[in-house]
Every structure is written in C-alpha cells, then in structure tokens.
Chains A and B, each alone.
Chain A
Amino acid sequence: MEKTGSQILIDALKKENVEYIFGLPGGVVIPLFDTLFDYSDLKFILTRHEQAAGHAADGYARATGKVGVCLVTSGPGATNLTTAIATAYMDSIPMVAITGQVKTHLIGSDAFQEADVTGITRPISKHNYLVKNIKELGTVIKEAFYIASTGRPGPVVVDLPVDVTTDKWDGDIHEEINLPGYKPSYEGNIRQIKIAAEAINRSKRPVIYAGGGVILSNSSEQLIELAEKANLPVNTTLLALGVFPEDNEKALGMIGMHGTVPANYTVHEADLLIAIGARFDDRITGKIDEFAPCAKIIHIDIDPTSISKNIRVDIPVVGDANNILTELIKHVNYAERKEWFEKIAEWKKKYRLSYDNTSDVVKPQYVVEQICEATKGEAIITTEVGQNQMWAAQYYTYTNPRSFLSSGGLGTMGFGFPAAIGAQLGCPDKIVIDIAGDGSIQMNIQELSTVVKYKLPVKIAILNNGYLGMVRQWQELFYNKKYAHTLLDGNPDFVQVAKAYGADGFLVEKKEDVRPVIEKAISIDGPVVIDFRVDPEENVFPMIPAGQTISQVKGVELI
C-alpha cells in the first residue's frame, strides 16, 4: 500500500510501542501533524516551548525506562530543543528527537526556519540522521530507537525534511538493522569479573560507588544482592539516588561535592572502590589526585570510553551492569569487616546531615523533609538545578530507583517541571513533585498551561529564597559576599501566576503551615504550585569546594 512519509513515520513509532509524543508544531511539520491528528492511539502532548517537550520526553524516559519521543519543527524549534538533547546526552537518557527540516532541495540555501540540525546536534547526541529519501525513513526510525536504547543509552536526532513526509512510497521497509560499527558489549569478560570478585573477597575496606548506569540497566536488585552477599557499604551518585534504599544500614547516601561525610570518607579511606555505572565526574572526585588515594579501583561500565578517562582504573569490566553484577554475585563471599563497619557506624553517628531548625523561619531542608514524610518517600521527585536540587537530594529518603529525576551532567535549570510532566504521564498512579527554586521555575513556567490542559496533578514546591541560590552561596563563600546579579528582586507572585494559568496556588510563610499545605496540595487532583518563602541565605552543606578533598569540607566540623 502506498504511504506518505508521515504515515511511515507514525507506523514506525507505533511499532516501537510509543505511547506519547511531546512537542510543538510549526511550518514544515504541518503535513506530519495533519496525519498524526488522525491517530488516536498515539497521544501527542502539546508543550508551550520545545525545550520543555524535550525535557518531558526525558522525564518520561527516566521514570519508565522506555524511550522518550519528542517532535518539533525546523530552525528555532530544533534549536530550542538542543538544551534538552544535551541534557539527555550527558545523563545517558534514551530519547528519539524528531525535528522538521526544510525541503531537501532548499537545504543549504538559508531558507526560512532552516538550521543545520545534524551539525548542531552532532556533539550533543549519541547519533543523528538527516533523512533525504522516503525509502530510508522506516529503517532510520528503527535504527534510531535501537541506538537510543541499547549500549550506553542516549538521544538520537532524526532530521526530517518536509518533502520526505509528503512523498509517497509503496516499498517494503527494511526491518533488518545494519550497523556494522555499532556493537555494544553486554557480557562482561568472565575473567575480569573473577578478578574483581577476588579483589572484593580480599578487601578489608571496600565501598561501592553506584551511578546512574545502575538505574539505566535496571540493576537495583542485583546491587542490593551484591551489597548483602559480600557485605559492602554503598554510596550513590546524585543520578543513582534510590537505586539502593537509603534506609538500608549499608547505605551511606550521596557521594561528591554535597554528599555526606560518611560517603566521602569511606571513599577516602577505602582499599577497594567498586564503581558501577558511574563516570568519575569532577563533582564526585574533587581533586582527582587525592580521590580514593588508598584504593584499587574496579570499574564496571558499558561505555569503554568511561574507563580510565578521568582516573586510572585497575580492574575494568566493560559490559551491562545487570549481566556483570549477576555474574559477580556468584563469585563473592561474605566477610564481616568488623573494624571497617564500626568506623562507618561512627562516621554515620557523628556526621548526620543536619541544619539549624530552631528559628521560626521556614528552612528549605525542613520543607523537603516534610514532603518526604507526607509522601512516605514514595513520590517521584524531580528537581531543577542548584540549591533546590541538592536539598531535594539530601533530605528526601529515596528507596526506589527512578524516583529521583534530575539533570546531573549538564545541570539544566528548567528541567524539573517539564520532566515532571513526562514522569506523571508515564506513571499516572504516582505522586510527582517538582522541587524547584524561584530562579529555575521561571525557566519553564509556561508549562503550567500544559499541566492544566492535560489535567496533570503535578505539584511544584518552590523553595523561594529570592536568589539564584547556589551561585549566591558560592559568592558568599568564595567571592566576599559580592552578590553579583543573583538577587531575584523582580519575582512574580507565584500564587497569582498559578491561578492565572488555572492551577491552584498556595503561599507558605510560616513553619507550622508547611506540612498542612503539602497535605492539602497532594489531596488536590490537579496541578498545584506552593510558594515556600524560605530562609534567603541558607546554604547547602556539607560542601567540598571544587577541586578539593573531604578534608577541606565546609559546613561540617570534622572531629
């Protein structure tokens, strides 16, 4: 049967079991939207900005593990999407981004709304395509989903000229994927796994450093089993929060710049560091020469370029964490490691995360704690970037993977709210809360239209301190309190903004109102914005200044 390019595309998306497409129409994608409009089983979610469409697809992917899909127009539509593509790329999130393009014969002529999208997205995507012929389209979509979701996942961009979508073709679509150069290795080398197991069995002071890859490979159960069987303490990165239940006694919390003292201390004193699906980012290592100074390093990762990129690894195991951990578990033995665990217990007792909650001022940490209690730690929390993100990471107790969604690598302000939209659609039975700052939320606040239109009960908790808080904190600590352009003195009344869009809005200025308003917001079956007026100069501690070590930690008295 003869089909248009648009039909071929939509059929291919359906074959990939796509549930939602996030996006915004524009000139060159009119024919595509015209066709899409007739398909009721493929739901299109109209956002109010292309960046939000990308983050929503990303949030959907993070929450469900499926490939997120977004669709935007050429030129500005595509360039608006680039921040979302880069965000997904840095955190290895499977996503297929479809961008409209001008007619093939106009490419390169500086046509209206033309941009070199494959050129722009080359360094920020896992792979990209410019489809110049309708015959390739079906195969390209199949390859795009395959590449996005296999190996180290990532975003794949498909740039689609308008004439390809309107062309007609009745040929067969190649169902076979032919990518001679793309063969991610899944099985870890068994000899390396045994060497790793021996190192674990021999170690006296081991610690696991689990990263986002453990979530991406759905290996939470294997991680728990490994930690239990071999008796290993566990640190998690920001992106891995929830992959190891934080109420488990072996959990040390988050590692890195704003990580817990016990998490950073264990790495500093360990004789064996077991890195799983993590990439030794500078926010984790601080001063690289003094990171894990006494430790042998095992590194389990599916991406060979991650091995020995930032730090020399002793025992690399390349492959899928799920397979490798399953095999590794078979070869490890239980060891008591009494001295090590006593030391850890002491650190945990001495260096509990804490803040001064004695005054009447609403502390942002208190708000996060109350959100955690009110949702029994079972909500999906998305965050923006900055202080809100760190407090959300520190003061909510995560016990499930895919329950903390945050832009880690790129650190994209404006991520949390649209990501919450994607997460809520992917997990309709979950409570989804975006913990935001007053700065970040204004980067995609227009999406209130989207949540109202689709009746999505996303809650936004703004920790409103009237500053670009994290930058202000650095200015306070390292720039003599010179608050250069970080005061947000033109903020709107967020409650009125919410109401103007048709959402509910509440203002919280008193500590005693925090919990009741959270409860009330959760009970409302619709979007709610809560404007928490928090202590304007509260800081995120502990803090290891950039490029330093745990011995220089700020905000904690080391005993």
Chain B
Amino acid sequence: MKHVISVLVENKVGVLSRITGLFSGRGFNIESLAVGETEDTNISRMTIVVSGDDSILEQVRKQLGKVVDTIKVTDYTGTDYVERNLILIKVSALPGKRNEIIELVDVFRGKIIDVGQKDMIVEISGPEDRLEAVLNLLRPYGIKEVARTGRIAMNRGPK
C-alpha cells in the first residue's frame, strides 16, 4: 500500500542525502519525493510517497524519526488530507488542433502556459489520477516532453 509521509527536517546541508541514503541503505522504495522550505525557513518539509506493508512502513517511520535532523514524521495515510502533483506537458499542437487541446485542458482546470509554432506547454495540478487522465487524453496528439513534481500533501483543519 502507498503511504504519503511528511518529514519535517532541519534545513541543513546534507539532510536530503541523510534521508534518501536511509531509504536506499535499508531497501525502502521511494516512489516520489518533494522537498521545500516551510513557513519557518530553518525547517524543510519532505513529502515522501513510499509503498510497503505495515511492518515496513513502521520501520520507515521510526528510521526517519531516528535521524538527528528529523523534527517530526507524519503519515498522512488514513487521515483527512489533500494532496497535489504538478505536471508540465509539451504536446504537439499544430494550428488546426489547438482549440481542441485548449478545450480539453479547460475541462481539467489546466492552463496553457506557452504556445509555439508546433506545440504548446500544458500545466495541470491535482491528484495523481487527474494527471494520468490528462496524459492519456493528450497522448494521441503527440506528447513531446513531460516534467512532473513529486507529490505534496497537507492535513485539513487546524495545524
């Protein structure tokens, strides 16, 4: 089962490799990773998607907590939270096809952020399945390039 884990860490040199090194060293599998500063610039949040059974996840959480620079580990799975991914898609868009693509992207509340002679860049954010749906719909037009962020997540309600 996939778990979305948020790790608050001290914003220090080498902390990213401490965390990723722990995953590779212990044979845990990172499916996605997103890192950025929080409201406090001394603290970064790492959002990690990891899969495994309960005993593996228990170890993942404990091992993350053991890192000296780790301040807090939260497993969002099973709680009330929102999650987002962002994807940029460069899709082939010859003049005759442009409107079709724009309409399609609109349905998914996406944006066209660049238009070239033969292609456009589409930006979509949302949960994983929405991104997959858009990718599938755009594939027939010819996808030239894809860039996506890792997943980020946040609990609903007060902090």
Chain A positions within 8 Å of B, measured between CB atoms, are: 118-119, 122-123, 126-127, 130, 147, 179-182, 303-305, 307-309, 312
Q: Which residues of A contact B59 (CB under 8 A)?
A: 305, 309
A181 pairs with B62, CB closer than 8 A = no
Interface footprint category on B: 20 to 34
Q: Are B17 and A119 in contact (CB under 8 A)?
A: yes
Closest B residue to A127 by CB, please name it.
B68
28 contacts between A and B (CB under 8 A): A119-B14, A119-B17, A122-B14, A122-B17, A122-B18, A122-B21, A123-B21, A123-B25, A126-B68, A147-B68, A179-B68, A180-B71, A181-B9, A181-B67, A181-B68, A181-B70, A181-B72, A182-B68, A303-B66, A304-B62, A304-B66, A305-B59, A305-B62, A305-B63, A307-B62, A308-B58, A309-B59, A312-B55
Considering only residues 44-74 of chain B, those with a C-beta below 8 Å from chain A are: 55, 58-59, 62-63, 65-72
User: Which residues of chain A have C-beta atoms less than 8 A from B58's C-beta?
Assistant: 308
Q: Write the nearest CB–CB distance from A531 to chain B, whole angstroms.
A: 41
Decide if B69 touches A181 in the complex (CB within 8 Å).
yes
B13 contacts chain A at the CB level, 8 A cutoff? yes
Minimum-distance CB pairs A-B, first 4:
A181-B71, A305-B62, A127-B68, A181-B70
State whether the Cβ of B75 lies closer than 8 Å to any Cβ in chain A.
no
> What's the Cα separation between A127 and B55 when bound, in Å?
25
CB of A123, distance to nearest CB on chain B (Å): 5
User: In whole angstroms, how far apart are the Cα atoms of A181 and B15 in the complex?
Assistant: 13
Q: Is the CB of A118 within 8 A of B70?
A: no
Residues on A with beta carbons closer than 8 Å to the beta carbon of B13? 130
Measured between beta carbons, the chain B residues less than 8 angstroms from A130 are 13-14
Mark B residues whose CB is within 8 Å of A: 9-10, 13-14, 17-18, 21-22, 25, 55, 58-59, 62-63, 65-72
Distance of A118 Cα from B25 Cα, bound (Å): 16
In the complex, how many angstroms separate the beta carbon of B52 from the nearest chain A beta carbon? 14
Q: Which residues of B contact A126 (CB under 8 A)?
A: 68
Task: Contacts A123-B25, A147-B68 known; list 16 others, CB within 8 Å.
Answer: A118-B14, A119-B14, A122-B14, A122-B21, A123-B21, A130-B14, A180-B10, A181-B9, A181-B67, A181-B71, A181-B72, A304-B62, A305-B62, A305-B63, A308-B55, A308-B58
A197 CB, min distance to chain B CBs, angstroms = 25
| Residues of A contacting B14 in the complex (Cβ-Cβ under 8 angstroms) | 118-119, 122, 130
- Determine how close the nearest CB of chain B comes to the CB of A281; give it in whole angstroms: 16
User: Contacts of A118 on B, CB cut-off 8 Å?
Assistant: 14
Query: In the complex, what residues of A have CB within 8 A of residue B67's CB?
Result: 181
Separation in Å of the A67 CB from the closest CB of chain B? 16
Q: Whose C-beta in chain B lies nearest to the C-beta of A128?
A: B14
Residues on B with beta carbons closer than 8 Å to the beta carbon of A147: 68
Q: Which A residues touch B17, using CB under 8 A?
A: 119, 122
- When C-beta atoms are compared, the residue in chain A nearest to B73 turns out to be A181
Residues of B within 8 A of A127 (CB): 68
B155 CB to nearest chain A CB (Å): 20
Q: Nearest chain B CB to A436's CB is how many angstroms away? A: 32
Residues of B within 8 A of A303 (CB): 66
Please give, as numbers and ranges, the residues of chain B lying within 8 Å of A179 by CB-CB distance.
68
Chain B residues contacting A312 (CB-CB under 8 Å) are: 55
Q: In the complex, what residues of A have CB within 8 A of residue B9's CB?
A: 181
Complex: A303 Cα to B65 Cα, angstroms: 11
CB of A82 to closest CB in B, whole Å? 15
**B46 → chain A, closest Cβ, in Å?**
13
A305 to B55, CA, bound (A): 11
Q: Which listed residue (B18, B25, B66) contacts A305, Cβ 8 A?
A: B66
Contacts of B62 in A (CB 8 A): 304-305, 307
How far is it, in angstroms, between the C-alpha of A147 and the C-alpha of B10 when the chains are bound? 16
